Structure 1
Amino acid sequence: MIKPQSNRSGRIDLGLGYSSGTDFPSLIEAQNASFNDFYASGFQRLFTKINPVKDTMEKMWTLEFKDFRFGKSYRTVEEAIAKGLSYEVPVYAKVQLLNNKTGEIKEQEIFIADLPIMTEDGVFVFNGVRRVVTHQIVRAEGVLYEVDEKLPYRTLHKVRLMPGMGPWYEIDTNRHNVISMRVLPKRPKVLITELLRVFGWETDDEIRKLFADVDTDEENKYIEATLARDFTKSKEEAVISIYNKLRPDESVTIDSAEKYIKSNFFNVRKFNLGKIGRYQLNRKLGTSYDINNPDEVMLYPKDIILIVKRLIQTNNGVIPADDIDHLCNRRIRSVGEILERQLIAGIGRLEKNIKDKMSLYGQDAKVTPSMLVGTKPIAASIQSFFGANALSSFMDQTNILSELENKRKVTAGGPGGITKERATFSIREVHNSHYSKFDPVTSPESANIGVVTQLAMLARINEFGFLEAPYRRVLKVVKNNKAVLEGRILSEDLMSGKKTIAKADTTIDKALAEKISAVKEIKEVKVKSFISDEVVYFDAMDEEGFYISSATVGTDEQGNITDKLVPVRHKGDFVLEDVSAVDFVDVLAGQQAGLGMALVPFVSHNDAMRALTGANQQRQAVPLIKQESPLIGTGMEETVARQSSWGVFAEDDGEVYYVDGKKVSIKYKKLGLRDYDLISFYRSNDNTCFTQKPILNVGDTFKKGDAIVDGPTMINGELSLGINLKAALMFYEGYNYEDSVIISERIVRDDLLTSIHVREHTVQVRDTELGAETITADIPHVNDRILQKLDMQGIVRTGVKVKAGDILVGVVAPRGEKELTAEERLLRAIFGESASDVRDNSLRMPHGEEGIVIRSQILSADQGDKLQPGVLHEVKVWVADTKKVDFGDKIAGRHGDKNTIAAIRPIEDMPFTEDGEPVDIVLTPTFLKRMNMGQATEIHFGRYAKMLNEKLAFPIFEGENLEWLKQELAKQGKEMIQKVDLFDGRTGKMFPNKITVGIKYVLKLHHIADEKVHARSTGPYTAVSQQPLGGKAQMGGQRFGEMEVWALEAHSAPYALQEMLTIKSDDIKGRSAAYKAIIHGDKIENVNIPESFKVLIKELNALCLNLDLISNNSSREVEEVTNEEAK
């Protein structure tokens, strides 16, 4: 039996030990590393593309950008968020200007732009908002060999040459075996032999000799077929032929034509393979150019020959075509590279502006670099990228897991990517090369499914953008070293000369290891396959050549593999092989999963679609007031909490020196005294409440790595998204039909599923044409009860409870002046300005909202705060609202099980177990039809964890250590019983059948009924149709469409239907009259003709149909309508 281990939070790992001792790398390393590379060298790389900048004649001026320097940030992250500004640094460059006539050199340091920089937790603060740049997966630069779909009757191939910068070239083979290249779109193709003549191989024999080793198929001679179509016999003829195809309307000399043709391939500024393109060509074509040498990342004639050679081999079936969806042909662009590509356009505009300004000055003019270099193009590109680019997104911040997952998201969309409408099934599907690199399950449940995905938990991105996964090396030979030999099993007889030292299958103990190591002539010892501690990372192409097995292979305590046949992956296939063939094994049993999936216990018991839903729903869980860490977890809860930026963990051993709600002071043994400022009632991007809570008291000691402060959705250093509830699986009078559940009143009373939501309300005080707006508590025609909540300045007081319609900030604006009578002028001279001369522009609580004011802030232009033009002050008020769980709220488990609360029952009415303890939640047992059996498994094991009063971890795909669990329960005199007797709380009688009762982890999702419910009495109407607006935000009405009309007709409710279509909609006169009648308590008169009917009349008139309206009661109304139409 494997002895279970415990983590720092006391959770006992009941997996079968395959993941023990695994240290997780930084989960946001890809974001940080990419931006750090851009920060260190990317900005300088951008300017090397235009250095040096010369005037259009290249005779007068030469300007060169030299060293770059980053200044200090203007403000901290907290100040940027509070004031709605960006967390950025200024960028400066030394610019040198040379006067080519006089040789005079002028040098200046010039400000280039303000560059937003990434925080330690992988986010940007732009205009006061936390934003994340999503990874983008794109086709890798280099060459790609694929089947030509245009030739269905014969399998021929084409090759795409894709550079880092420049046009794509395509070389294909037609049905006559002629190989040609498309150089320019919509222009004739160029024969490959013509191109080779231009590059120096002029004669037919020279060209045949180049391909003699590959063009060996007697039935299909590709080079001979191409030469037969090539009517040029010399370099000059080939140059003229190609140029006439590319530019038929222009006359040029042979030298100029040759220069133009070669520039399309060998001019670095027009066609540049780039570092990754050269890396891919080296791997596929067997070349060995230096990828770090800027001079060797260009294309060479030799490359084109090798590309055509491989195309011929692919056509002959010697080499298989590339799989376009394989990860060796797709790579990741991260934030640094995406930002660098975005700024290329700005750099191009900057170069053009400099050249234009150079042409304005003569060589005798006194010109300085600052007169030529303008910073607006770069600044505009940066603003455009962070503000409008599809890859720069508002960070999902519902909880700390959603933050992390947002930073690890990968999309195939965005600039240069695909759209969800054009994404094919091959792009969306899970590919075998995705194993351990992409989460096969987590993806949106929408049109973006498969287009947007998540990185696997241990995947990393290498310097070329290719995804890599870690594996442990399996050794079969070890060096003759005593420490290494001990515990190994010999695979063959060990001989020293003719003497047998040990037989095959012998386990080497300490004595035998010493004996073997003493024999000097034995350098290496062959042993049975065992898993070493060496971890190696491979990308998708590298791992194709190895036999890689799962981490769940059977091993003994020394890591020796005990299975004879093991499942392996090799070249995309999953097969059984002898253990001697295995080269590597996975580091973790569940390393192919992403974070969301890795947090779902017993996920292997669930259908894939339910696993997807469960992984996604955890990101929607709102932080609770009384959250708990799950009794049944996977062990990843601690990893996620530690890698979030919200918890504080000890940097060294020490003790707590001071604690309060805003600050924790720690006295470390080696690092001295450190202060940590805590955040309370912070409004996240999704309006959830983030608060840090100290978990230690003054005088408490701790070890390095212990949790000191918990962040939101965190308990004792573990991710805690929900609450543990006692659940029963049974029918309960239909209240839990389908996806409905019954909960106990205890959950509401004890705030077990209560959450706090914080909203920010902002008003800008402007300088108008009629005068400046004013913040004041003296607001005309407002009830004194409402004004009591404002302070002297006119801003609502902190701690006050506010509801819909209450004033948060009192703002008045001057009205336009009008001509006054003599009496009015006299009264104004005596009593001062009249309050009625100002307009009420106050900020009020929106409809349907309430809460307690927790904070307010004033930003003023005269105090140096950056505000929009014309804005004098900006006032922000934060209101916190406590949401108790209620009918209609959406709650969920971790297995894709989502429920709506249908009934809240008194505690005494809930079913109870034999010990008298009532259950908290009643679920339907028919969930089994959705194939998420992990839910039932969790409830069973949750009950056993409750019996032992322990938190248990079951890492995914590892299996369960049931032996230890049975032993521990037996020690306490308990058994692993699945079902128990349950009693009805209302009658006290026992239910006839035993019922499954256990502990279920329940999350409250960000779909709260109180935020969605809406009712309209009166409100705005659309100007076009005169019908009520739609949506809660616009105080709109409910749409009453065709099917709703049919429903009321079917129920014989004509008067209700008439109201819906007239006075409650677009009967302008009728609705005004009805409102007055209700106010005065009068009877509502008959309805009038609605506007939509008048539109119908007009449409019929347009069809030359004259409509006569006939009324049984009176012709007056009909005549009015007819007269209106006539007008």
Structure 2
Amino acid sequence: MQQTNPLDEITHKRRLSATGPGGLQRKRAGPEVRDVHHSHYGRICPIETPEGANIGLITSLAIYARINEYGLIETPYRKVENGRITDKIEYLTADEEEKYTIAPANVEIDKDGKIVGFVVARRGDQFPLVEGKDIDYIDASAQQLVGLSAGLIPFLEHDDANRALMGSNMQRQAVPLLKTEPPLVATGLEEKVARDSGSVVVSDVDGVVLSATSDNIIIKTDDGKFKHYKLMKFERSNQDMAINQRPLVKRGDRVRKGDIIADGMATSNGEIALGKNLLVAFMSWEGYNYEDAIVISERLLKEDILTSVHIFEEEIEARETKFGAEEITRDIGSHVPPESLRHLDENGIVHVGSRVKVRDVLVGKVVPQADVMMTPEERLLQTLFGKKTGMDKDESLKVPPGEDGVVIDVKVFSRKGKVKKKELEKRKNEILEKYRRLRERLRKNTAFEKSRIEERYKNKEITKKEYDEEIKRLDDLLKVNLEILDKNRRRELENLQRGEELPAGVVKKVKVKIASRRKIQVGDKLAGRHGNKGVISVILPEEDMPYLPDGTPVDVVISPLSVPSRMNVGQILELMLGWAAKKLNIQCITPVFIGATEEDVKRMLKEAGLPKDGRVTLIDGRTGEPFKEKVTVGYMYIMKLEHMAEDKIHARATGPYSLVTQQPLGGRAQYGGQRFGEMEVWAIEGYGASRLLEEFLTIKSDDVEGRKRVYEAIIRGEPIPDPGVPQSFQVLIKELQALGLKVELIKEKKKKE
């Protein structure tokens, strides 16, 4: 399941597909099948669909749609009787809807609920102009046309469909930020998405909060029972994001069933919060925002405004091999620099809390090799002392590129029966001792709290009633916490006794979790909610950013050319309304299709004392001189997307080679080289750079002898020798020989002078 953020999770659960068993095939599906159909109205979102080969085949359920017992999608309508709108809601399938005349939700009605005048209604794929008495149903809501993701875009009705599609898809790629913030301009669906995604913690009882800590909430219910909620702390999602829940209630708060009591990832006060409200200016800045590039202020970096936490999980297995069992150990050979091993314990496993860098060893592992090459002396030494004689191969788990951070968890799994009895007993005693200390600390803390309350009572700071209530609360809390500790202790002991169900041949498995804090950097992708995406080209000091007449520097500078051809004018309306909302310190809710109009935005700007066109004269931070033209400025909700430079940047000096061709491997994961294909050869040929081309195709790739000779020449400070024959040529000869062709290389004999 996709878990980049709560919206990603809930939209994945609501996805519809026309492919799969018994469905369509991607190659054979034509435009007719993929296109929006009138029967999609209120059932399938016309906007949210992928951009690639799956466009129109993979779709999303509309907001109010439901699936009936026959697997058909239904959408709700309000019944209209004799031109009067009733409160009766009926769900209709696409077939049932065909025979009725249905009016839009925003028709004009009189005080009796009767539809006034003529209305443009829908009947099948026709749009007749009808009187109120001829209407059978009316839409339940103006928003029922769109899906969840599109429903979160304010002023969606002012955006071109292509950009709205990108906007709804990119919201699912937003990375949960360290400091969350709800949008200044929202659509009203934010709380519903957060609640239904399961990201937040919802109380299922009425009662009073007995205790609220960073990882536990205990509620005393109205019938005297206790309800315990365990919060998730820095757990990893499927997309390596950090799931961290934070309590929203405090001790003594009254909660009702259905109240949100804790925030989850990418939520703020129970609302989904995928980005940040930033001060944006639409202007060019020294060409740095050419081609959708974005200029940002260093403030976003210094104040951790666009910083996110990622949790990576790495695992390693020790297996039984035909040469003996692989071993997890600290002693992995003299070739590894000692600083790479500085975080390992005596068993060769990294300590929790270690700050690790790329290429540091997390778990040491050696693999036994075949002893074919052993001399009789080495074999004798091994027999006498059981000593490894440097024949073991190092296959340790190292920190991959882009995953440096702090080790937050280490789990060691051993097969049942493989752990010695002595070791098992030792672990059992450790668990018992840990929980004994926790119980003792809990009792001491409670006794200390009681003594403080008694002191306050003696000093007449609190009444007898308050004293009794506090003592009762502490007794209740102690009882609940002891029960929780007891349950956790039993579970840990059961897990220890049971052992782990490891795959066949696996003796031991170690999982390491690393928490990495990623600040915003050049090359990261940012986007708004209207398909307005771009890559950061430069991070400017705050003092160099253009600033408002009151001295406030802007956070983001976006090219004005990114708006006209894309026709996503919703971003400009959001920008202006956002500025007014910031000034008035309010949140504006503007639902899709029935939201704020241009007049409403102008009114809000006037109320906030801002220019009605949202344009001001900005001053250049470097020179202090005003810019020639007025600039559109305001607050826009900006998200950091999961396409980060850290995951894509890659360089190689030397590294692994392919066994067959002896060329460097390809791709970042294999620590590979840059691919130099046929077309790249033409490009270099076009410049006539023959020596460069010769290097690329020989010593920098698969001329094994040449590589060695060049290395030796560099070490000795001698001229670089001429390249030899590349390995790929030898492979070609061997292939031809395998086909039965006698291909030989005949050296040309030098003619005798």
> What is the aligned partner in structure 2 of residue 1017 from structure 1?
653
Report whether the alignment pairs 1:882 with 2:517.
yes
Shift of 1:644: 1.2
1:432 paired with 2:68, answer no
Secondary structure of residue in 2 paired with 1:635: coil
Counterpart check, 1:639 vs 2:274: no
What is the identity, as a one-letter code, of the residue corresponding to 1:1073?
R
Q: Which has the higher contact order (CA 8 A, sep 6+)?
A: 2
Matched residue type, 1:550: P
Other-structure match for 1:626: 179
Q: Secondary structure at the match of 1:541?
A: helix
Partner of 1:540: 94
Q: Specify the alignment match of 2:674 in structure 1.
A: 1038
Q: Judging changes above 3 Å, is the alpha-carbon distance between structure 1 residues 1062 and 669 closer, same or farther for their aligned structure 2 residues?
A: same
Whether 1:864 aligns to 2:418 is no
CA displacement at 1:1104 relative to structure 2: 14
* SS of residue in 2 equivalent to 1:545: coil
What is the rounded CA distance, in whole Å, between the counterparts of 2:631 and 2:61 in structure 1?
40
Match of 1:749 among 299, 302, 305: 302
Deviations 1:225-281 (A, max 9, x none): xxxxxxxxxxxxxxxxxxxxxxxxxxxxxxxxxxxxxxxxxxxxxxxxxxxxxxxxx
Quick check: 2:577–2:601 contact (8 Å CA) kept in 1? no
1:461 aligns with 2:15: no
Work out whether residues 652 and 670 of structure 1, in 8 Å CA contact, stay in contact via their aligned partners in 2. Answer: no
Sequence identity percentage: 46
Out of 57, 74, 84, the residue aligned to residue 530 of structure 1 is: 84
- RMSD (Å) for aligned C-alpha atoms: 2.8
User: Are 1:405 and 2:40 counterparts?
Assistant: no
Residue 784 of structure 1 and its aligned partner are, at CA, apart by: 2.9
**Residues 764 and 875, structure 1, Cα contact 8 Å, conserved in 2:** yes
Report the 3-state secondary structure (helix = DSSP H, G, I; strand = E; otherwise coil) of the residue aligned with 2:693.
Answer: helix
Aligned to 2:438: none
List per-residue Cα deviations over 1:150-175 (Å, max 9, x = no partner): xxxxxxxxxxxxxxxxxxxxxxxxxx
Q: CA deviation at 1:882?
A: 1.4
Note if contact 1:652-1:671 (Cα within 8 Å) is conserved in structure 2: no
Q: Deviations over 1:463-494 (max 9, x none)?
A: 11111100011232xxxxxxxxxxxxxxxxxx
Which of 228, 234, 241 is the equivalent residue of 1:681?
234
1:853 aligns with 2:488: no
The residue matched to 2:682 in structure 1 has which SS? helix
Question: Which secondary structure state, in structure 2, belongs to the residue aligned with residue 935 of structure 1?
Answer: helix
Task: Mark the CA change 1:465 to 1:886 in structure 2 (over 3 Å): closer, same or farther.
Answer: same
User: Hey, what does 1:569 align to over in structure 2?
Assistant: 122
The 1:964/1:1037 distance shift into structure 2, 3 A limit, reads closer
- Offset of 1:640 from its aligned partner? 0.3
Identify which of 904, 909, 917 aligns with 2:552: 917
Q: TM-score, normalised by structure 2?
A: 0.83
| Structure 1 residues 466 and 916: CA distance shift in structure 2, 3 A | same
Equivalent position of 1:1002 in the other structure: 638
CA contact 1:848–1:1014 (8 Å) conserved in 2: no
Residue 926 (structure 1) aligned to one of 561, 578, 581: 561
1:898 equivalent in alignment to 2:533? yes
Query: How big is the shift at 1:779?
Result: 2.8
Provide, for residues 711-747 of structure 1, a one-character-per-residue CA deviation record: whole Å limited to 9, x for no partner: 1111011111111110000111110012101000001
- Per-residue CA distance 1:965-984 (angstroms, 9 max, x = gap): 66666666556342112111
Structure 1 CA distance for aligned equivalents of residues 313 and 739 of structure 2? 53
Task: After TM superposition, list the pairs within 5 Å mapping 1:956-975 onto structure 2.
Answer: 956-960=592-596
Q: 1:779 aligns with which of 332, 350, 354?
A: 332
Q: What does residue range 484-883 of structure 1 map to in structure 2 within 5 Å?
A: 529-556=83-110, 559-562=113-116, 564-670=117-223, 672-781=225-334, 782-816=336-370, 821=376, 825=380, 829=384, 833-834=387-388, 836=390, 838-862=392-416, 863-883=498-518
The equivalences for 1:284-303 within 5 A come to none
Shift of 1:859: 1.4
Q: Match for 1:420: what amino acid?
A: R
Asked whether 1:988 is paired with 2:624, we answer: yes
Cα distance in 1, alignment partners of residues 298 and 136 from structure 2: 58
2:70 partner SS: coil
Preserved contact between residue 606 and residue 612 of structure 2 (Cα < 8 Å): no
Distance 2:127 2:222 in 1: 53
**Alpha-carbon distance, 1:835 to partner:** 5.9
Alpha-carbon distance between aligned partners in 2 of 1:1093 and 1:832, rounded to the nearest angstrom: 45
Change (3 A) 1:968 1:1051: closer
- Number of the residue aligned with 1:1029: 665
The structure-2 alpha-carbon separation of the partners of 1:628 and 1:767, relative to structure 1 and needing over 3 Å to count, comes to same
Single out whichever of 456-465 and 810-819 deviates more from structure 2: 810-819
Does the Cα contact within 8 Å between 2:119 and 2:131 map onto a contact in 1? yes
Distance in 1, Cα, partners of 2:397 & 2:195 = 41
Q: What letter corresponds to residue 400 of structure 2 in structure 1?
A: P
- Once the two structures are superposed, the pairs formed by residues 76-115 of structure 1 within 5 Å of their partners are none
Q: Distance in 1 between matches of 2:220 and 2:603?
A: 43
Judge conservation of contact 1:397–1:684 (CA < 8 Å) in 2.
Answer: yes
Which residue identity lines up with residue 897 of structure 1 in the other structure? N
**Deviation sequence 1:601-652 (CA, Å, 0-9, x none):** 1111111111111111111111111121111111111110110112012335
TM-score, normalisation: structure 1:
0.56
Could you tell me how far apart the structure 2 residues matched to 1:1044 and 1:467 are?
52
The change in CA–CA distance for 1:763 and 1:976 in structure 2 (over 3 A counts) is same
CA distance in 1, matches of 2:523, 2:610: 39
**In 2: Cα distance, 1:602 partner to 1:609 partner:** 15
User: 1: CA distance between counterparts of 2:740 and 2:348?
Assistant: 62
Structure number, greater radius of gyration? 1
1:556 CA displacement: 4.6
- 1:916 maps to a residue whose letter is G
Moved more, 999-1008 or 424-433: 424-433
Q: What are the Cα deviations for residues 80-112 of structure 1, in whole angstroms up to 9, with x where unaligned?
A: xxxxxxxxxxxxxxxxxxxxxxxxxxxxxxxxx
